[in-house]
Structure formats: C-alpha cells, structure tokens
Chain A
Amino acid sequence: NAGVTQTPKFQVLKTGQSMTLQCAQDMNHNSMYWYRQDPGMGLRLIYYSASEGTTDKGEVPNGYNVSRLNKREFSLRLESAAPSQTSVYFCASSEALRGGAFGETQYFGPGTRLLVL
C-alpha cells in the first residue's frame, strides 16, 4: 500500500496563477483533510471531507476550494495564488470509525511545497 500520495512534490507559481494539488489514499478511509504548515508552526486545517460527497471548511479556508472526487481522491485548488499561500501543504486521511470527521488517527502524505512569487 502506498498510503497517502500527493502530487506535485514542489511547485512555483506566480501571483494570480491557479493550480490544483492532488491527493489520493489507498486505505479505504472515509475522511480526508488538507492542511498547511508555515515555517516554525503547526498544521492548520484548510478543508476536510468527512465522507465521499461532503466537504467542510476548516480553520483557514479563504482562497482555497476542494473537491472530493471519489472515496480515494481529494484535491485542493488555488484559484488565484497569493504570496501568503506560500507554504507546505499536507493531505491526510482517517478511517473516522465513529461517524465524525475527527478523533481518529490521521495518516499524512509527504507534502507539497508551494512557492508563490
């Protein structure tokens, strides 16, 4: 099993450009998440999907959109990138056995490093 995979590993954008970060998991997990991590800080939740067909805002959703394409895939889109979105983006998934999106072990991907000039 590959676990959680993310593409691309690294991306440089100019201000105003758009891009989609891809995430896929092969663990048959119900819930998926997108986080950003800025230097010297912990992770902040951008969006999450408790189950296929649902998405909800996290702590810092502004400037982002998400799509839960199917149970395996959860993408994050930046419509008009800004320098403030320079960060490392992590995708995670969780079995979420108890019906909620949180409270269970999360499995993280390796991250996408995004630089917006």
Chain B
Amino acid sequence: SQQGEEDPQALSIQEGENATMNCSYKTSINNLQWYRQNSGRGLVHLILIRSNEREKHSGRLRVTLDTSKKSSSLLITASRAADTASYFCATNDMRFGAGTRLTVKP
C-alpha cells in the first residue's frame, strides 16, 4: 500500500500562477520528502521536512507539514513552463504516492 497520497491527481495552471498540491499519509513519520519527475526521467529531490518542522522554503518552493492532520503541502510560486512535471511525496520509509501531474501553460 502507498503511504503518501497526493491531491489533486492533475493540476493545470497558467505561467505566473501559484500551484498548490497536497500529500496525506497514514502513520507517524520522522520526515517527509517531495520529489519532482519530468516526463521519462528519474526523480529529483526538492525538499525534506522533518516532523519537528512546520514550514520550509527553497527558492520558489514552500512546504508545510501538519503532523496532527498527517498532511503536507507543496506550494510553487510564480510557476514557469519548466515546472511542468509530476510531483511526489514520500514518507521516511520511502513509500510514494501516485503523484500530482502539474501542467504550466505558457
């Protein structure tokens, strides 16, 4: 069974808009990671947030973690066409969800 589950399954926005995707998980975690996968390529690590952290930033990315709700969100601000990819969350035992497919239209 998959530990992390992303929502929505697909998201289409215009360049310049913000994109928010969510991840829910079932059991207690030590940390949660977000990865990006461009079509046909391997996964690239974006951010790791630990269970004692509530928010973390990296460039245009902002990740929040709510351990009481067992959920995390990834916000991409001022999106670009190059952000078009699938985004996955993974819990510390590396169980991945099915991902959110983000399309950013130029």
Contact = CB atoms under 8 A, between A and B. Distances in A.
A84 B42 CA distance: 21
B98 A42 contact: yes
Contacts of B48: 104-105
A102 B94 contact: yes
* Chain B, interface SS category: loop
A104 B96 CA distance: 14
A108 B42 contact: yes
Interface string A93-109: 00000000011111111
Interface residues of A, number: 21
B41 A110 contact: yes
Contacts, number: 47
Nearest to A103: B92
Contact of A103 (B4, B31, B42, B98): B31
Contacts of A108: 42-44
Interface in A1-39: 4, 33
B25 interface: no
B95 interface: yes
A33 B94 CA distance: 10
Interface of A: 4, 33, 40-45, 59, 90, 92, 102-111
